[in-house]
Amino acid sequence: METIGSEMMPQKEIQRVGVIGGGQLAWMMAGAAKSLGIELVIQTPHPTDPAVAIASDSIFAPIHDATATAQLASRCDVITFENEFINLDALMPLAQQGVCFRPRLEALAPLLDKYDQRSYLEDIGLPQPNFMTLEGEIGNEEFIHAASFRQPLNLSNLEFPLVLKARRHGYDGQGTFIIKDSTSLQEIWKKLGYAPVLLEEFIPFERELAVIAARSVTGEVVVYPVVETQQEEQVCRRVLVPAEISSAIVAEIEAIARTLLNSLQAVGVFGLELFLTADGKVLVNEVSPRTHNSGHFTLDACKTSQFEQQLRAVTGLPLGSPALKCDAAVMVNLLGYEYSQNDYLEKRQKLASLPQTFVHWYGKTESRPGRKLGHVTVLLDSKEKAEGLTISKKVESLWYTP
């Protein structure tokens, strides 16, 4: 057994897994938890959150509430995350007292803040957009700290467009702004209260790609098929599996994922989002230290889902095969398009009647525009492989038509 860079195996079998976060990512662990004989204990603020219904036990408290996490620790053998909006400093004493977090807190530390994440990726030599942080107030000459940004360090000399990102708590493009000129840079930063932000090069990508990778307690790494993600207004609409890219690019992305997980000595599942440029360059957009929307297809299309893989990794089991069970697949997010309490049963039934189609409905009680309410995965055979986009458009037309 490989032991370098690996954790000691736990003394006793892990039966109860604590999960910080109670959204759909925790909810989708239910099937795998059942088949592996694992009980899930959830920390989430809202009793109506999806995972509460499938958990053996829940603690209703904010994600960043470390006192609640101490309680969670007393009710489970290991704690993992479906949500990274945690207070790392407050959790550190728990880890020092012996609470087992997987991934461990040191592996999360460089990733939670988008600027820290970029700095870490730079340190380990992974390709990414040029970046810097903006701190202080406009007018103060010392407010820009450049990292690998090859631009002059002066606001008036910046080359636009640029991308401004809130350093923490961004999701689904909330907190990400494409900036066209210095006036809008000043306006948007002002709106954000001059909080420190990440400023990075705008990449005129040809396509966006993503990959899920997992690392076990013994240091074994598996990488899922690379997929293409398509965003509209910065929110993922559909995922095409596998991405139509050369085997050289697949190998490059797999190597990026391995380098990252091994450098972090992370245990668990990670999602990587990437840009592919017209001249074939791969750049890392973002790393999520948890299961990811771009990996939802794995529930129906892979031998081991990303959710089972996370439970396997954090409980010290050997990892499962990430291979596809079919030739190809598409995953379509069912996003809210109105404010309502509708459960859209009729639409869901219509979608479920399509061939080789699996509808996952997260059971949220309220719909609002852009909210992720569920997703649909369609499995494709070799003849349908090229029709992924057409099939996803058909699913979307059934969903978004009133």
- From the CB of 291, what's the least distance to ligand ADP, in Å? 14
Which of residues 6, 71, 87, 176 is near ligand ADP by CB under 6 A?
Answer: 176
- From the CB of 200, what's the least distance to ligand ADP, in Å? 5
By C-beta, is 170 or 219 nearer to ligand ADP?
170
User: Alpha-carbon distance 147 to 125, whole Å?
Assistant: 13
- From the CB of 339, what's the least distance to ligand ADP, in Å? 22
By C-beta, is 61 or 147 nearer to ligand ADP?
147
Which of residues 102, 165, 296, 375 is near ligand ADP by CB under 6 A?
Answer: 165
Stretch that binds ligand ADP, among 59-67, 135-143, 170-178, 343-351 (CB under 6 A): 170-178
DSSP string across 89-141: HHHHHHHHTT--BSS-HHHHTTTSSHHHHHHHHHHTT-----EEEE-S-TT-T
User: Alpha-carbon distance 112 to 83, whole Å?
Assistant: 10
356 SS3 class: coil
Per CB under 6 A, 310 contacts ligand ADP: no
227 SS3 class: strand
Stretch that binds ligand ADP, among 59-67, 168-176, 258-266, 374-382 (CB under 6 A): 168-176
Stretch that binds ligand ADP, among 93-101, 167-175, 254-262, 335-343 (CB under 6 A): 167-175
Which of residues 69, 83, 130, 285 is near ligand ADP by CB under 6 A?
Answer: 285
In sign, the C-alpha dihedral spanning 124, 286, 32, 49 is: positive
A 10 A CB-CB count for 251 gives 11
Per CB under 6 A, 163 contacts ligand ADP: yes
256 SS3 class: helix
Cβ pair 198, 167 in contact under 8 A:
yes
From residue 178 to residue 217, the character string flagging contacts with ligand ADP as x (rule: CB under 6 A) and all else as - is ----------------------xxxx----x---------
- From the CB of 54, what's the least distance to ligand ADP, in Å? 25
How many angstroms separate the most distant Cα atoms in the chain? 61
How many residues line the site for ligand ADP (CB under 6 A)? 20
247 SS3 class: helix
User: Alpha-carbon distance 353 to 292, whole Å?
Assistant: 26
Which of residues 65, 82, 286, 300 is near ligand ADP by CB under 6 A?
Answer: 286
Which of residues 129, 225, 242, 295 is near ligand ADP by CB under 6 A?
Answer: 129
By C-beta, is 87 or 234 nearer to ligand ADP?
234
Residues with Cβ < 8 Å from 183, sequence gap 6 or more?
none
Alpha helices in 135-237 (DSSP H): 182-191
Residues with Cβ < 8 Å from 129, sequence gap 6 or more?
163, 200, 201, 202, 203, 275, 283, 285
Per CB under 6 A, 339 contacts ligand ADP: no
- Alpha carbon 147 to its chain's center: 25
- From the CB of 234, what's the least distance to ligand ADP, in Å? 4
- From the CB of 38, what's the least distance to ligand ADP, in Å? 29
Which of residues 15, 34, 89, 171 is near ligand ADP by CB under 6 A?
Answer: 171
Strand order in the sheet with 176-179: 144-146, 131-134, 197-201, 162-166, 176-179
Which of residues 6, 56, 119, 234 is near ligand ADP by CB under 6 A?
Answer: 234
Which residues of the chain form contacts with ligand ADP (CB under 6 A)?
129, 163, 165, 170-176, 200-203, 208, 231, 234, 273, 285-286
